[in-house]
Structure 1
Amino acid sequence: MRTYPNSKETKEIIKQLVSIPSPSGNTKKVIQYVEGFLTALNIETRRNRKGGLIATLPGENNNEHRMLTAHVDTLGAMVKEIKSNGRLRLDLIGGFKYNAIEGEYCEIHTSGGKIYTGTILMHQTSVHVYKNAGKAKRNQENMELRIDAKVENADDIRALGIEVGDFVSFDPRVQMTDNGFIKSRHLDDKASVAILMQLMKRLKEEKKALPYTTHFLISNNEEIGYGGNSNITPETVEYLAVDMGAMGDGQSTDEYTTSICVKDASGPYHFGLREHLVQLAEANHIAYKKDIYPYYGSDASAAIRAGHDIIHGLIGPGIDSSHAYERTHETSLDNTEQLVYHYVHSEIVSY
């Protein structure tokens, strides 16, 4: 396999990103991390009112713009109910199932700034007590959060400062293997955020003007549907979302190539831009797969739904077990970064 020249640096950025809790609605710290990285490179940034971060690199053509986006918000949960047995009932943030977080370590982030650890478990976990431990449904009614504190009732929990509405984040359990695999929660979409951060660093170091002024949106509400649907300049012609490629039965996406999405639940992506990306990949010996993601939406599709008159596309590294304990390989990161690098240097698709 081809050696990825920035693999150590990119994987370290991923490790840092996934280790910063950032469920949708509570992303301030991770945005600050990305902002600090870009500020150190003297890249112009600004915040939008939703809390997302926009970086801009000027281009030779300022009449037509591009925008690339990746999202830093993740799946998570919120305290729904303080139970009389000294445990918490959860309400999920993002599109995933309770079975994906059974047995997961987590943190409760109180409004007062305190953090408590805990574990997400079935109420009927003990096989020595509950005959239906394996058959009970994994749902909101049966699953609960066990706090690592001496609490026996709701009053004990409230005495800790925990209340309804407090955010719950999941332990990423990030691991990097010697043969190039990256295993962690929240590679969707922090792997892509790391790719864009590395891309901006490379562009800044090369000191070569882009053909078009290019904006990079680090969005913070994608998992709930509206992270990248605003702050798109009137000059923006093309909008490329960099987000995970979905793997599973019937899919062509894998963990070693970049995935070019041709259609998701929102419908087909722009044919001209999709074919342009394919041509760039083939011309530059970048391994890719075209694919359809049946139950998926991106910041690019959110922008289209919001009424923006743009050419929209979607690419990303292939991610196994999306919205659970995810995995990809450094070659997929490499192929995706190379494709976005050649893309930002290419001509805008004719419309």
Structure 2
Amino acid sequence: MTTTLDPTILERPLDRFPAPVAVPEPLPEPLPEPVRARRTVSRKTLWAWGKLLVGVGIVVAVMWKVGASGFAEGLRVISLVEVLAALAIGLATTVLCAWRWSLVARRLGLHLPLRRAVTDYYRALFLNAVLPAGVLGDVQRAVRHGREEGDLGAGVRAVVLERVAGQAVLIVAGVAVLLASPARQVGLIVLAVAAVVVLAYLAARRLTGARSRWRRGLDDIRAGLLARNAWPGVALLSALALAGHVTLFLIAMRAAGATQSPEQLLPIVVVALLAMGLPINVGGWGPREGVTALMFAAAGLGAAQGLTAAVTYGLLGLVASLPGALMLVRRRERVA
């Protein structure tokens, strides 16, 4: 059987032919959940290791430039007087920060008595001081409180807002002090670098996070920090806690041999505290030592003495957090 072609088919108008049907391209299959989870974990692992490597790199660079004697000198200059001062100031600042946390948590609808907040805050300070990332203690208190209250997200946001409040007051105080300081050029450069790092970090988090989380975060900021019955107390507690940290740093500088007036040392203290807030430290170590040595050198006081002062402050901060170790042991004994 043969098929003949109709000779009139070429004479038909084009609109007589049926339009071709577009076949949609198949959508890419979504990645299996384990693959997405592995990729997320991989990014988090890379970020964590990157922060640690940067912090270690700063410490190594300072030791290579200044010498390792500054670290050994920081151990030698601490006496019983500095240890007792660290414990007393640490108690005051911990109570103030825990009170701030309790206030913010209540504004978010969570129950957090002051006594329990102080205990958890002490434990967090100790874990932050002895664990590499420098924030694992805060993560632990946020998760534990959120789970006990039945709202993990609110528990985490309360801790984040509490820490943000402290950093905001520090930044405002830092700008005011640096603008009135003779060494404001170096300080403002460090402050600008810190601002760029923080903004880049926040931008990265926003690009990888859901918009709904950011809306919820803005609502929590309005309720937990900016409300009329919230911000005065939060600001006052943050300012008093900052005064305690500044005082402890000045004590460390005196122990390291600095004889300048507090007015001359205050800009260095503020910049060093700002550097401690950068998310690239190892248990608080790294940027603090580098910035303090740099500021001391810029002020003509010697980078080695600045390194000794920063190391002394770090050790006194560890001493101030030691009650948290006792509370951690007591909690484990109760659980057992």
Flag the structure with higher helix content.
Answer: 2
> Higher relative CO (CA 8 A, sep ≥ 6), structure 1 or 2?
2
Calculate the TM-score normalised by the size of structure 2. Answer: 0.27
Larger Rg: 2
Q: TM-score, normalised by structure 1?
A: 0.26
